[in-house]
Amino acid sequence: MIFTQYLITFGWALTGAVSMAVALSVALKIFSLITPIDEWEEIKKGNLGMAIILASVIIGIALVVGLTVMA
């Protein structure tokens, strides 16, 4: 009985991890396509503002996907 609960919990954790990885990669690709600059080059050059914007996009998408998976 307890082993079944562990398997169910592991399955949900795996589902959440996979859906988070897919959603973040798609969202970052879409964000890169709609912005006129190369975000990663700006971050490599030390542009802190671009790093903060990209981090906020990642956190925002993570919150939405995380709450969706939990519902």
- pLDDT, tens digit (0-9, with 9 covering 90-100), for 23-32: 889 988 999 8
**Are the C-beta atoms of residues 23 and 61 closer than 8 Å to each other?**
yes
Q: What is the mean pLDDT of residues 40-62?
A: 92
Answer with the residue of higher pLDDT: 49 or 16: 49
The candidate with the shortest Cα–Cα distance to 70, out of 23, 7, 12, 18, is 12
Domain count, the chain: 1
For residue 71, pLDDT over 80 is answered with no
C-alpha to C-alpha distance for 4 and 7, rounded to whole angstroms: 5
C-alpha to C-alpha distance for 3 and 46, rounded to whole angstroms: 49
* Range(s) of the domain holding residue 45: 2-70
pTM for the full predicted model: 0.71
**Are the C-beta atoms of residues 10 and 55 closer than 8 Å to each other?**
no
For residue 34, pLDDT over 90 is answered with yes
